[in-house]
A = this chain, B = another copy of it.
Amino acid sequence: MDQRPLGVFDSGLGGLTAVRELRSILPSENIIYFGDSSRVPYGGRSDEILHRYARQDVRFLRSFDIKAILVACGTVSTTALPLLQQENDLPIVGVVEPACRRAATKTRNKRVGLIATAASVRSGAYERGLHAVDSEITVISKACPLFVPLVENGRIHRGDIVIETVAREYLQPLKEQGLDTLILGCTHYPLLEEIVQDVMGPDVTLINVGQESAWEMKRTLERCDLLSPDRVGETTLYVSDRPQDFAVQASRFLHHEVHDAVRCIDIEQY
């Protein structure tokens, strides 16, 4: 048993899809969330910059007495996770490994697709993760750089020709490769689940990386005897810029209104 909070971070709003899953799977846990809204988006940046950002994000979360960290950012998970795990003496869970394990279980024809940011695709982390579970899996990847800005601008609904056109352009070539499982390798993408499923068709299984990483966090806490005692857990939200905007958008990702103030910190100090 351990009453200390969990730390969760992402470049911006996307990681809240993982917080939503954590809230449902681990309702007793206190969660401290950091969204790096002053430096979003991470997806197009170099590894060098991403390592610096990731270290600062972790240092900020560790300024609280946290017991574990969920890296709810696909880009950091694919480019900086081993580095963070090596440098920190607490459990750190990313989004790649749990999603790869689930995808390997689900696929029947061993053809798995991946959509993610440019940095995540470039890293090859999902390919490595899938091949670690099953070396016979063929991985078909596609960077989708417009998905994050479109989601952050609320273009997530069926009938919106903008998101539907962009989704078709990105996904049609994947569909033609005959995959039966598709990893949504960015925590923004669960908001596009309907849109993506419409293009891919009902026979393709979508893997939500936020959901899988939340389950992995539960297993990790159980294994390390770090679960919280029974109570109603709380979520505290921090950002590095424009907390008002974040509060408005956060409700869309969390599926409930954000009433408490979102607090703003200067991440360059960490």
In the complex, which of the residues B45, B146, B165, B268 contacts A149, with contact meaning CB atoms closer than 8 Å?
B146
Highest count of chain B CB atoms <10 Å: which of A52, A146, A155? A146
**Given A38-B49, A49-B38, are A153 and B146 neighbors across the interface (CB < 8 Å)?**
yes
Counting CB contacts under 8 A, is A191 at the interface? no
Q: Which residues of B contact A241 (CB under 8 A)?
A: 45-46, 49
Q: Whole-angstrom distance from the CB of A76 to the nearest CB of chain B?
A: 15
Q: How many subunits of this chain does the assembly comprise?
A: 2
Given known contacts A44-B242, A45-B38, A46-B242, A153 and B145 CB-to-CB distance under 8 angstroms: yes
- Residues 135 to 191 of chain A near chain B (Cβ within 8 Å): 145-146, 149-150, 153, 155, 161-162, 165-166
Kindly report which residue of chain B lies nearest to residue A166, judged by CB atoms. B162
In the assembly, what is the distance between CA of A150 and CA of B44, in Å?
14
Contacts of A45 in B (CB 8 A): 38, 241-242
The yes or no answer to A59 lying at the interface (CB within 8 A) is no
Instruction: Select from chain B the residue with minimum beta-carbon distance to A161.
Output: B165
Bound-complex Cα distance A49 to B166 (A): 31
**Binary contact readout A253-270 vs B (1 if CB under 8 angstroms, 0 otherwise):** 000000000000000100
CA gap between A46 and B242 in the complex, in Å: 6
Question: Is A150 a contact of B161 with CB atoms below 8 Å?
Answer: no
CA distance A60 to B166 in the complex (A): 38
Is A39 positioned at the interface, with any CB of B under 8 Å from its CB? Answer: yes
For A150, what are the chain B residues with a Cβ–Cβ distance below 8 Å? 146
**Within 8 Å CB of A165, what residues of B?**
161-162, 165
The interface residues of chain B lying within 8 Å CB-to-CB of A161 are 161-162, 165
**Bound-state Cα–Cα, A145 to B40, Å:** 14
How distant is A144 from chain B, measured CB to nearest CB, in Å? 10
Query: 0/1 per residue, A238-255, Cβ < 8 Å to B?
Result: 000110010000000000
Q: In chain A between 1 and 54, which residues have their CB closer than 8 angstroms to a CB of chain B?
A: 38-39, 44-46, 49, 52
A44, B153: Cα distance in complex, Å:
11
A142 → chain B closest CB, angstroms: 14
A residues near B (Cβ < 8 Å) are 38-39, 44-46, 49, 52, 145-146, 149-150, 153, 155, 161-162, 165-166, 241-242, 245, 268
A49-B241, A145-B149, A146-B155 known, 8 other contacts, Cβ within 8 Å: A38-B45, A38-B46, A38-B49, A39-B39, A44-B242, A52-B268, A146-B149, A161-B161
